[in-house]
Structure 1
Amino acid sequence: MPELNLDKARYNMAWQQIRPWNVFDDRVLDVMQKVPREQFVPHAYRSLAFSDTRIPLGHGQVMMEPKLEARMLQSLAVKPSDHVLEIGTGSGFVTACLASLGNSVVSYDIYEALVNTAQEKLALQGINNTHLHLGNGFSAELPEGGFDVIAVTGSLPRYDDRLERLLTPGGRLFMIVGTSPVMEAMLITRHGDEFVQDFLFETDVPPLELLPEPSGFSF
């Protein structure tokens, strides 16, 4: 795909798909155009990189639609100083966006192939403020109050509060809860010792798989 067409495709994705879906944050619109999404899409689906559709990644996993990725990023309001935890590395594209918006990203996935591929793609883009781990992020030993932002990139059948303790005061957690065909995207914000839940919009995304950790290997 010629460079000129890529630039136009990214622009159209941002302003024809993402912006009309109530994404107004200029930083989010900018990062969705600057991070080369086509480089994180499996080669067989490269022509669909900017389409309003899910893209298969193997292992039953998918890339979310660009508008949903952007809506998640907007709701989390990631600041340049923020330390981010991502549960579900997937393609590494959202990881790259979070890393571009924030200070650092720790990301977990249970599939070694996805972790390895995402690591390679992040390195090719010169993104070096990410730390990818193979394992179940919900059961990992992580510091309490260690993250300003937590993004869970797959759905859960019901709300799980295990990640709340990892939030800093003022920290934000994005999670999609429910069963197909109707799920709720939620933003949980820590205010002191209280956790306030806001319901953002309805959606339907594949469930997050949380298998026992296959190893303690990390990158």
Structure 2
Amino acid sequence: MRFRFIVAVWICVSCGPAQTQVADFAAQRERMVKEQIVMRGLVTERVLSALRKVPREEFVPAEYRAESYTDKPLPIGYDQTISQPFIVAFMTEALQPQPTDRVLEVGTGSGYQAAILAELVAEVYSIEIIEPLAKNAEATLQRLGYKNVHVKTGDGYKGWPQHAPFDSIIVTCAPEHVPQPLLDQLKEGGRMIIPVGVKFAQELYLFEKKNGRLQQSAVLPVRFVPMIRSEKEGEK
């Protein structure tokens, strides 16, 4: 009996930490939504539900996993970051995503923003110029079962004309000027959220296309990584 008791204790101890960590991340996720999102005035329930569901820790490098739900951006390699949770929520809510929407994302990064969108819309088309990041994000999204996210390596400035027009466009890196190709690929009635400006001096803008005209409003001062352009010719 004593031997069996020792074995049982060993089994519980060996599996306990992993179970505890999963439960702890779930608790951190819920606390993030309450303290970082809702308390700052974002209350769209569909967006909050997506934030509660998507495991942010799966999109964060191992060395930063313990910080997955902190109120700040985190490095993901190649001088890129995964955005602060509040910014992800703010930009997502600004798009007013609908279940039938097709959304273009410029700057896949870790894939976390794409996963949030995938919970809310029909299809997500995401472009990342840094190939290793694109491949890693695509692998993570596939592993987590997101079949409605399409990732490609390319110059996001050019958009994805083969699948345009889009109901909404979200840009997670900052060009110095608004790319005309993205405006052209926005559907009538669509919305685009994009940071614009030089490094460390940017403004988040919301564009709405109404009756063939663009309405622009500045919504928030922000600090995003700069948009990287491709020098390749004839990129598809």
TM, length-normalised to structure 2? 0.86
C-alpha distance in structure 1 between counterparts of 2:177 and 2:187, whole Å: 23
Q: How does 1:46-61 map to 2 (within 5 A)?
A: 46-61=65-80
Give the secondary structure class of the aligned counterpart of 1:57.
strand
User: Equivalent of 1:105, from 86, 110, 124?
Assistant: 124
Deviations 1:158-187 (A, max 9, x none): 333321111111111110112343321111
User: Equivalent of 1:129, from 126, 143, 148?
Assistant: 148
**1:67 and 1:213, CA in 2 relative to 1: closer, same or farther beyond 3 A?**
farther
Q: Say yes or no: does 1:41 pair with 2:60.
A: yes
Which residue of structure 2 lines up, in the alignment, with residue 203 of structure 1?
222
Q: How does 1:18-37 map to 2 (within 5 A)?
A: 18-37=37-56
Q: Say yes or no: does 1:115 pair with 2:158.
A: no
Cα deviation, residue 212, structure 1:
2.9
C-alpha distance in structure 2 between counterparts of 1:25 and 1:152, whole Å: 21
Cα deviation, residue 121, structure 1:
0.6
C-alpha distance in structure 2 between counterparts of 1:80 and 1:72, whole Å: 17
C-alpha distance in structure 2 between counterparts of 1:213 and 1:66, whole Å: 33
Q: Say yes or no: does 1:78 pair with 2:78.
A: no
Give the secondary structure class of the aligned counterpart of 2:174.
strand
Cα deviation, residue 216, structure 1:
5.5
Letter of the 1:103 counterpart: A
Cα deviation, residue 70, structure 1:
0.5
User: Equivalent of 2:107, from 88, 103, 108?
Assistant: 88
Q: Say yes or no: does 1:63 pair with 2:82.
A: yes
C-alpha distance in structure 2 between counterparts of 1:209 and 1:22, whole Å: 32
**1:179 and 1:141, CA in 2 relative to 1: closer, same or farther beyond 3 A?**
closer
Rg bigger for which structure? Answer: 2
Q: Which has the higher helix share?
A: 2
Which residue of structure 1 lines up, in the alignment, with residue 192 of structure 2?
173
Give the secondary structure class of the aligned counterpart of 1:163.
helix
Alpha-carbon RMSD across the aligned residues, in angstroms, is: 1.9
Letter of the 1:78 counterpart: P
Deviations 1:21-63 (A, max 9, x none): 3212111111111011100111111011101111111111101
Which of the pair has the greater relative contact order for Cα pairs under 8 Å at 6+ separation?
A: 1
- Identical columns (%): 31
Give the secondary structure class of the aligned counterpart of 2:94.
helix
C-alpha distance in structure 2 between counterparts of 1:155 and 1:88, whole Å: 10
TM, length-normalised to structure 1? 0.92
Assess if the C-alpha contact under 8 Å between 1:83 and 1:103 holds in 2.
yes
Assess if the C-alpha contact under 8 Å between 2:106 and 2:159 holds in 1.
no
Unaligned runs of 5+ in 1: none
Which residue of structure 2 lines up, in the alignment, with residue 182 of structure 1?
201
C-alpha distance in structure 1 between counterparts of 2:52 and 2:156, whole Å: 29
Assess if the C-alpha contact under 8 Å between 2:158 and 2:182 holds in 1.
no
Cα deviation, residue 215, structure 1:
8.8
Moved more, 200-209 or 104-113: 200-209
Assess if the C-alpha contact under 8 Å between 2:118 and 2:124 holds in 1.
yes
